[in-house]
Structure 1
Amino acid sequence: MDTNNSLPTNSINKGSHSLGRLFLQLRRLERQPQTFGKAGSLTPSEIHTIEAIGCEGGILMNELATSLGVTKGAVSQLVVRLEAKQLVKRSSYPHDSRAVLISLTDKGKEAYKAHEEVHVQFYDQLRAQLSQQEIEIFEKCIDKLNEFLRK
């Protein structure tokens, strides 16, 4: 048994391997385009950009880049692709004509809502397999993992 941890080494290795498999599955999912309503097939980066813009109002281009943790150039390329699919629109920011405001079109809002529904359905399926106590532990673990990965 490891003196620094109350778990046997084989339990730690099992958890480490399970976490590795989870990350591989998530990476695989992140590469596959999916269909979100009438918006058609969208890559994960496109739908996550739509999610970051949100249905209410809009977001400044530089705030969007910060929110997604990418460069302004990368966001600009994503916005061009989403404009071509008629999911977002650019407009001048009323308080600063140099700033660009990005907002969702009606079609973009449909994609946003369809994406939200995917999340709700996934979580409902998960809840059906776990007890309330397991859900609370799961959510706490996810929060701690996110916190750890932010460092």
Structure 2
Amino acid sequence: MTKSVSVLNELLIELFNDILIIEQNTLKDGKFKDISITEIHTIEAIGMYKSRTMSEIAQDLNITVGTLTIAINNLVRKGYAVRERSEKDRRVVMVSLTRKGKLAYRLHEKFHSDMIKYTIEGLNETEEAILINSLEKLNNYLKQKYNLKD
């Protein structure tokens, strides 16, 4: 293994683990200590501005509707989300965030935004383009190799 491959491997593993730990600790120590990383990512998939169907959310998270139902039940019980039947088709369940859910969404979004701003701070346009291109290549490889949704 070349030195670059070894260093990149270590960096990616460390970054992935560190981001998860920081997200968990931020939730645990903050205003939203009653939700998990999985639940905050479900909140993120629900989105801020419109109701979404259970199927749409499950597809975005690459999970089954049954698995999502458990997560939504918990978010509804904790006051982060609401579910309603569609007016057009009563079989369709629509999910949206409550005010509390939107606040959690915004705080999580800020964490990611701050992380990205710090990452590109001081990079020139060429360096930024190289970073973006490299991450896009990695992302495309993972999606193709493991049949993940685009």
Whole-Å separation in 2 of the counterparts to 1:58 and 1:64? 10
The alignment status of 1:93 with 2:93, answered yes or no, reads no
Q: Using the TM superposition, give the Cα deviation of residue 41 of structure 1 relative to its aligned residue in structure 2, in angstroms.
A: 4.0
Instruction: Quote the residue 1:65 is aligned against.
Output: 58
**Residues 90 and 101 of structure 1 are in contact (CA less than 8 Å); yes or no, is this contact kept in structure 2?**
yes
Q: Secondary structure at the match of 2:79?
A: coil
**Residues 36 and 42 of structure 1 are in contact (CA less than 8 Å); yes or no, is this contact kept in structure 2?**
no
Select which of 11, 36, 52 maps to 1:43: 36
Instruction: Quote the residue 2:124 is aligned against.
Output: 131
How high is the TM-score relative to the length of structure 2?
0.80
Whole-Å separation in 1 of the counterparts to 2:48 and 2:4? 44
Whole-Å separation in 1 of the counterparts to 2:33 and 2:21? 20
User: Residues 18-48 of structure 1, C-alpha deviation per residue, up to 9 Å, x if partnerless?
Assistant: 3343344345456656169754442111111
Select which of 13, 17, 27 maps to 2:10: 17
Greater strand share, structure number: 1
The alignment status of 1:74 with 2:67, answered yes or no, reads yes
Q: Considering only CA atoms, is the larger Rg found in Structure 1 or Structure 2?
A: 1
* Alpha carbons of structure 1 residues 126 and 90: separation in structure 2 relative to 1, 3 Å: same
The percentage of aligned residue pairs carrying the same residue is 33
What residue ranges of structure 2 are gaps of 5+ in the alignment?
Answer: 145-150
How many residues matched?
144
